A and B are shown apart, each in its own frame.
Chain A
Amino acid sequence: MATENEIIQQLADKAYEFGFETTIDMEVAPPGLDEDIIRFISAKKEEPEWLLEWRLKAYRAFTKMKMPDWQHFKMPEIDFQQLSYYAAPKNQAKYNSLDEVDPELLRTFEKLGIPLDEQKALSGVAVDAVFDSVSVATTFRKELAEKGVIFCSFGEAVKEHPELVKQYLGSVVPHSDNIFAALNAAVFSDGSFVYIPKGVRCPMELSTYFRINARNTGQFERTLIVADEGAYVSYLEGCTAPMRDENQLHAAVVEIVALENAEVKYSTVQNWYPGDKEGKGGIYNFVTKRGICKGAKAKISWTQVETGSAITWKYPSVILAGDNSVGEFYSVAVTSNLQQADTGTKMFHIGKNTRSHIISKGISAGRSQNVYRGLVTVGPKATHARNFTQCDSLLIGDRCGAHTFPYIESKNPTAMIEHEATTSKIGEDQVFYLNARGIDTEQAVALIVNGYAKEVLNQLPMEFAVEAQKLLSITLEGSVG
């Protein structure tokens, strides 16, 4: 039908509004991956010997690993030797205050809607801003320190809290977990570190904003969040990148540790550059995110709104080790043009009475492919484990694809596992109904899609739910004629 072709055409013409480039003096390592570059990175960051050894161990594991082949897209050829593994703004010894930060950098983040000046910042949100490989600034540190909360760049954590980093680094995602995690462990540049002490409820949202700017570099950040007994924290991650014709690799690792009675809410609004309408350029987003509910009654929730990247490959997971622990996964993944998303979650039920809840909402438009891939395992000791999975797909146009691969492995007969799945097309009747009330098709689609994703968007912290809604609308701009 004519409408649908128009829909697809207009969708293809959407623009990426964060695609600008910052001109700034950078120190960039020459392309190539070997032990020397790893030593170089480690030396640049003045790391202790044990961390260098860990990196090298990961590198050696990496060299023996193969690319995964089970995903529902053709794995692109990535020449790891062609990438540069270190890029940082020049002249930056260490920023002691914002006054020392290059104003161009501050302007970049301001343009992205992330003012780093505490006067202008969103109240109640502390931000760690990472530009290419390096953390530029972390806001509200004083306020957080008063509660004993540690929120700093990974590099600083290694220097100032080595015992915590040493204890937990690689404890959830081992250095040899998968090829991208191994690469990250070998070359990771920076990232965020969070520690919430016993019984503390973090007084504000913590947030890291990642910005890729340099050309031909990968971004390999690492986040480690530890919530001690009875602690609570809500953490949000956002990201953008300039529009470039070549693909850029983003291979991040996030580890979360929740001890007894602790709760961690981790939200992502992923908006890396998706490539143009012919599928040229865009970020390859290969990310390993995993949390462990180590103690009883611990809870970890992943919420993700995935709108960007040429390829998304990520499965935020929860290891439910503690009895009565809870894992949640709420996801909206939107793909348009030639984007490919293969995303979902894994819930490992190990402790007794563990519960997991999965809600996945896929939205595909254009010629994109959108995959939900989920794994729920129930171990022999996980008596009365419960899982509920709801997995919905919404199609816009008839050239896109939606696929679901839910895997279940249960070794305990008392487990209760429920799975519901639906696939629907965006209803022409729904669009016409809104049209007939004076609402144009673009806005109609935005309304319908946001309504469809509401259950997941509602999980986001308030300040970001609005942003995420806008982002969904922008991503699908012009998706229906």
Chain B
Amino acid sequence: MMLNINDLQARVEEKAILKGINLQINPGEVHAIMGPNGSGKSSLASVLAGRESYEVTGGSVTFDGKDLLDMSPEVRAREGLFLAFQYPVEIPGVSNMQFLKAAVTEHRAHKGLPPFTPKEFLAFVKEKQQLVQFDSQLMNRSLNEGFSGGEKKRNEILQLAMLEPKLSILDETDSGLDIDALRIVSEGVNKLRSKDNAFLIITHYQRLLDYIVPDFVHVLYNGRIVRSGTRELALELEEKGYDWLKEEMHLQEPVQ
């Protein structure tokens, strides 16, 4: 098993957000997480990536058999966990190229590999750039600064391609993409899929799942996974929305 989340609970600013998440992901699998706004999807991604503002209050997570929660965010990344951010940040004055070089160098060092020579690096960038059809003009611009929403998301996928993670978490990578961009991004992801890596795709819409076909679909609501199923579950949600789910949950769990 690659990722084993067991009864994970977390809070932010004294507010409980994750209330007991259980999820297992094996190599080669694609899991989708859906759910209404505010249900905790990004929070789950943040906790897995190690954002400090979240305090884990219970449960455990192992990643390739190691205690994930014990690692610093940078070590999680180097160990092969990748988060494509819902809202990628801008860093003025740091070129995209410089940033990628630093990230790739760290990943290689972690594996005991020497840094790429400038020539090797350029060739590597070029290959990955083509894979996700990333505009090479953006390479020398400041990281994400003034990028359109779609360009930022594509930049996330370029980073994914370059860092070659074991587990990729995509947090609403589809939002803000037009249909062409969505197709390009999905094709990129599909090309990167292998029997050794896994994806956790957070999305609001089942649209993306037409392109990246998941093995499993989970519904997150109010900090818990309330439903798990296959692709059909996504279609059902698309059709019925989330309201029925909310009602059902409130019946089970009386409102305080």
Contacts and interface: CB of A to CB of B under 8 A. Distances in A.
Contacts of B163: 437-438
B89 A429 contact: yes
Nearest to B169: A436
B72 interface: yes
* Interface class of chain A by DSSP: helix
B115 interface: no
A436 B49 contact: yes
Contacts of B88: 433
A439 B52 contact: no
Interface string B58-90: 000000000000001110111000110100110
B71 to A, nearest CB: 11
A210 to B, nearest CB: 29
A427 B93 contact: no
Nearest to B51: A432
A451 B142 CA distance: 8
A195 B77 CA distance: 56
Interface stretch (A157-165, A236-244, A440-448): A440-448
Interface in A1-56: 1-3
B94 interface: yes
A455 interface: yes
B72 A435 contact: yes
Given A2-B52, A3-B52, A447-B98, A433 B103 contact: no
Contact of A432 (B52, B82, B99): B52
Contact of A450 (B52, B82, B93): B93
A450 B83 CA distance: 25
Interface in B47-61: 49-53
Contact of B99 (A429, A437, A441, A453): A437
Point out which of A2, A432, A433, A438 has the most chain B C-beta atoms below 10 A from its C-beta: A438
B204 to A, nearest CB: 22
Contacts of B106: 437-440, 443
A398 interface: no
A467 interface: no
Contacts of A432: 49, 51-52, 73
B74 A440 contact: yes
B173 interface: no
B89 A430 contact: yes
Nearest to A361: B93
Contacts of A2: 52
A433 B91 contact: yes
Interface of A: 1-3, 427-430, 432-441, 443, 447-448, 450-455
Given A448-B94, A453-B93, 4 more contacts: A435-B73, A436-B76, A437-B102, A451-B93
19 contacts: A1-B52, A428-B52, A432-B49, A434-B103, A435-B77, A436-B74, A436-B82, A437-B74, A438-B74, A438-B77, A439-B103, A439-B106, A447-B94, A447-B98, A448-B91, A451-B91, A451-B92, A451-B94, A451-B142
Interface of B: 49-53, 72-74, 76-78, 82-83, 85, 88-89, 91-94, 98-99, 102-103, 106-107, 110, 142-143, 159, 163
